[in-house]
Amino acid sequence: MDVSKTKSSFYRRLYVAWLIDSGGACSVPALMAATGMPRRTAQDTLTALADLDIDCVFVQQPGERNNAGYYAIRDWGAIDPRWIAAHLAQIKAILGYP
């Protein structure tokens, strides 16, 4: 299936937000493990969530140092996470994720 870079980028952002919100992957290493994407791609995708008005924040663990914590979705903006859940198999297939 031939998918545009725009569509694959959009789906990657949706999938990463869904992984974070579902508790499946709430850190960069966990995102890398779940998707196989390189660290830089995972970091860039987290930053790009704001472009979709998805409010993703890093929650620092109390008493920890050096960015010990996790990511959380505070607001989905105009995105309906139920749509992502209903189309998860299709999104993963298009992205080539396990």
What CATH number corresponds to the domain at position 59?
1.10.10.10
In a 13 Å sphere around the CA of 57, the CA atoms on its Cβ side amount to: 6
9-66 pLDDT per residue, tens:
999 999 999 999 999 889 999 999 999 999 999 999 999 999 999 999 999 877 766 6
Number of domains in the chain: 1
**Interatomic CA distance for residues 72 and 17, integer angstroms:** 9
Identify the domain containing residue 62 by its residue range. 5-95
Find, among 64, 71, 58, the residue nearest to 30 by Cα: 71
What global pTM score does this model have? 0.91
75-98 pLDDT per residue, tens:
999 999 999 999 999 999 999 998
